[in-house]
Chains A and B, each alone.
Chain A
Amino acid sequence: MSDALNPGGARPNVVLLSLGLAGLLAWVVFDAVSVAPNRIVSGQGHGAWDVAGWPGLVASLAPMLAMLALAWRPSRRHLRLALGLVVAMLAALPAWLALAAARLIESEMPQARLGIGAGVWVALFLLLLAMVELRTRLALPRLLGGALLLPPLMSLAVWLASGLEPLALRQELLARRDGFIAAIGEHLLLVGAAVAISLLLGVAIALAMRRWVRCRTLGFALLNSLQTIPSLALFGLLLAPLAWLAAHVEWLAALGVSGIGWAPALLALVGYSLLPMVRNTFVALDEVDTGVIDAARGMGMSRGQIFRQVRLPLAAPVILEGIRITTVQAIGLAAVAALIGAGGLGTFIFQGLGQAAMDMVLLGALPILVMALVADALLGALSDRLRQGAAS
């Protein structure tokens, strides 16, 4: 209770202190980077000391120490400063990698690759955690919190353009630029199609469930058990019937439907997407305040008018929430679809795993992660917006 009445008081922020200390430890103990002469050979690890020498190492610790000092007396002003420091440290990470590239890779090794070491990964992770903590403590709005990531991303772009040429990820990307862009396209297309189809179907099913009570229990039971079937299994189970259909129905085969490829992937994605979509739409339409509906009816609105002008707008934020869950889920599941030849970013993950080429795995996994986070943030912000609109 005393905390609630005394925010940002004199008590040290234990969370930031722990994160900072863990960060310092990881920075000093773990490898900052690894250097490999070419793609096949595994890399040789280098600590922060190798990258910058003793004075450089000490200098690199300074901002973190400053953040620890600020966290010791967490007034609002101190926390703002600490947030600034965290953003600056995030933006400095690419520069640190470029420094490592310049000092550890000789110019006569054009094939050499710079891998990001555990020290930098852990520092990145802890800094992001510190950012989340500071954002929460300072109660920053969602979009501003997102905007704070811009300086680090811009810094990354600048250093990637020049200075980080040996970065393994960059080389991997350059080597497969066309395939990468195509994979992103395929991935987005698959997700977009699945979400769009399941939205249409989902709303229709939800409406049917509102009208026929018997549909409700049966429908939810069916969708629920569908959701529990592992994706790999569902893709597999769809393989045989679709292959049979393609073999026996000519126009389907002409459309490109076959046991493997986009058809089973899309079908399975739609199947998984239906549960969150139907559930949210149903709940959203069902939970509109009955007083409001009564009032609308009392004023003489027709059923159609009530649905379009009252029920649907009021239900929109919750339906959008369903779209958000569906989209994030589909982005992840579409990666698995690569196993049955549906393309997309999952291809890189599974090829990379097959060849034990970790950079390639990262090339597939990182964009999927970013896509999921961005979709979540954008649709979440949109839903907040709608909610506010509905409230005002």
Chain B
Amino acid sequence: MSEATGILRGGARRRWLAPVLWAALLLGACLGMESLQGLFRLVEPDSRRVVYARADFLVLLGRHVFVVAVASLAAVALGVGAAVAVTRRAGRDFLPLVAQLASIGQTFPPVAVLALAVPVLGFGTLPIIVALLLYGLLPIVRNTLAGLEGIDPGVREAARGMGMTGGQLLRQVELPLAAPVILAGIRTSVTINIATAAIGATVGASNLGDPIISGIVNGNTAYVLQGALLIGLLALTVDSLFARLQPTLT
């Protein structure tokens, strides 16, 4: 048995390697972009500046992470809450509608949702957070519903028959059993949010999308590359973090 845990621990260490490595690369790129100047000069030999300097990369990264984190946390709370509510007896009437809505809603392209949010909510960071939150809800609701409904009915029956209360059933049985599927939904949601937040740079939210947009507008490929590199690294860091979390919960 100790041998088994030993293997597990070794595996765990290896699984932590990927997120740590990506995060290190991300931070390194943020801090050391200036020293790659020579490389970017190759791409843009004629431009005056080849490293984006209108804002610090770390600040842009921080804003990006902040927007995505706030929207995703709210989406998790609301999404899991809504899915749990409509699978309880009191909310069951709303289940078909919510399930349908979550699956229809996912055919809406995130860009279109972001674009439609602007006329309603205006420019800036808050509208983006709201748009990300709304769109990010869908995969979470859908997966939470799938996770809860995928539980063997015998397990729920036995739990109730043994005298578990509704809250005990939810906390000790349903949520733990649905956790892997819920987590997969959160992963999808966060991935989409990171991408959509970058596009949010066009509606006035300053984040890692800025260098790309600015590079496209000014015809400076080096800026585009810097933004793209950082967003890509951020996405891979977060995704590998989720990949690390996933198996421990199953």
Q: Decide: A132 and B101 in contact? CB cutoff 8 A.
A: yes
Is the pair B96, A137 in contact by a Cβ cutoff of 8 Å?
Answer: yes
Given known A-B contacts A225-B236, A372-B109, A232 and B101 have beta carbons under 8 A apart: no
Q: Does A23 contact B (CB under 8 A)?
A: no
Given contacts A353-B202, A369-B108, is CB(A233)–CB(B115) below 8 Å?
no
Q: Are B101 and A361 in contact (CB under 8 A)?
A: no
User: Which B residues are in CB contact (< 8 Å) with A346?
Assistant: 111
Q: Could you say which of B96, B112, B123, B231 contacts A372, with CB atoms under 8 Å apart?
A: B112
Find B228's partner among A121, A236, A352 (CB 8 Å cutoff): A236
B124 to chain A, nearest CB (A): 12
- Pair count A-B, CB < 8 A: 146
Interface stretch (choices B52-60, B76-84, B172-180, B209-217): B209-217
- Determine if A335 and B109 form an interchain contact, defined as CB atoms under 8 angstroms apart: yes
* Contact status A129-B101, CB under 8 Å: yes
Q: In chain A, what residue has the closest Cβ to B201?
A: A232
- Given known contacts A14-B93, A240-B43, A259-B221, is B216 in contact with A369 (CB within 8 Å)? no
Q: How many Å lie between the Cα of A251 and that of B228 in the bound state? A: 28
- Judged by a CB distance under 8 angstroms, whether B224 is at the interface is yes
A229-B236, A233-B231 are known contacts. Are A15 and B107 too (CB-CB below 8 A)?
Answer: no
A-side contacts of B118, CB under 8 Å:
353, 358, 361
Q: Tell me which residues from 130 to 169 in chain B have a Cβ below 8 Å from any Cβ of chain A.
A: none
What chain B residues lie within 8 Å of A195 (beta carbons)?
Answer: none
B115 touches A353 (CB 8 A): yes
The answer to whether A133 and B97 have CB atoms under 8 Å apart is yes
Nearest opposing residue in chain B for A132, CB measure: B100
**A260 CA to B231 CA in the complex, in Å?**
19
Cβ-defined partner of A369 (8 Å) among B112, B202, B212, B227: B112
| Interface check A193, CB cutoff 8 A | no
B interface residues (Cβ-Cβ under 8 A, vs A): 43, 92-94, 96-97, 100-101, 104, 107-112, 115-116, 118-120, 123, 191, 194-195, 198-199, 202-203, 209, 212-213, 215-216, 221, 224-225, 227-229, 231-232, 235-236, 239
Q: Once the chains bind, are B227 and A236 in contact (CB under 8 Å)?
A: yes
A137 nearest in chain B by CB position: B96
B186 to A: closest C-beta gap in Å: 14
Using A240-B221, A335-B111, A372-B107 as known contacts, say yes or no to A232 and B228 having CB atoms under 8 A apart. yes
A-B contact list, 11 entries, CB within 8 Å: A3-B92, A228-B236, A230-B232, A233-B212, A234-B228, A236-B225, A237-B232, A349-B111, A349-B115, A361-B119, A372-B108
Most buried by B among A232, A260, A335: A232
Q: Are B112 and A365 in contact (CB under 8 A)?
A: yes
A residues 10-49 touching B (CB-CB < 8 Å): 13-15
Query: In the bound complex, what is the Cα–Cα distance between A234 and B107 (angstroms)?
Result: 21
The reply to whether the CB of A8 lies closer than 8 angstroms to some CB of chain B is no
Interface residues of A (CB under 8 A from B): 3, 13-15, 118, 121, 129, 132-133, 136-137, 225, 227-237, 239-240, 243, 259-260, 328-329, 331-333, 335-336, 339-340, 346, 349-350, 352-354, 356, 358, 361-362, 364-366, 368-369, 372-373, 376
Q: How close is B30's CB to chain A, nearest CB, in angstroms?
A: 15
Query: Which residues on A sit within 8 Å (CB–CB) of B104?
Result: 132, 373
Report B-chain residues with C-beta under 8 Å of the C-beta of A229.
Answer: 231-232, 235-236
Closest Cβ neighbor of A228 among chain B residues: B239
**Min CB–CB distance A89 → chain B (angstroms):** 18
- What 6 pairs between A and B have smallest CB-CB spacing? A332-B109, A236-B228, A230-B195, A358-B119, A233-B231, A233-B228
CB distance from A356 to the nearest CB of B (A): 8
- Whether the pair A365, B116 counts as a contact (CB closer than 8 A) is yes
B-side contacts of A366, CB under 8 Å: 112
A239 to B227, CA, bound (A): 12
Complex partner residue of B111 from A3, A328, A362, A368, CB under 8 angstroms: A368
Task: Using A132-B104, A259-B221, A358-B118 as known contacts, say yes or no to A332 and B111 having CB atoms under 8 A apart.
Answer: yes
Q: How far is the CA of A390 from the CA of B116 in the complex (A)?
A: 40
B109 touches A237 (CB 8 A): no
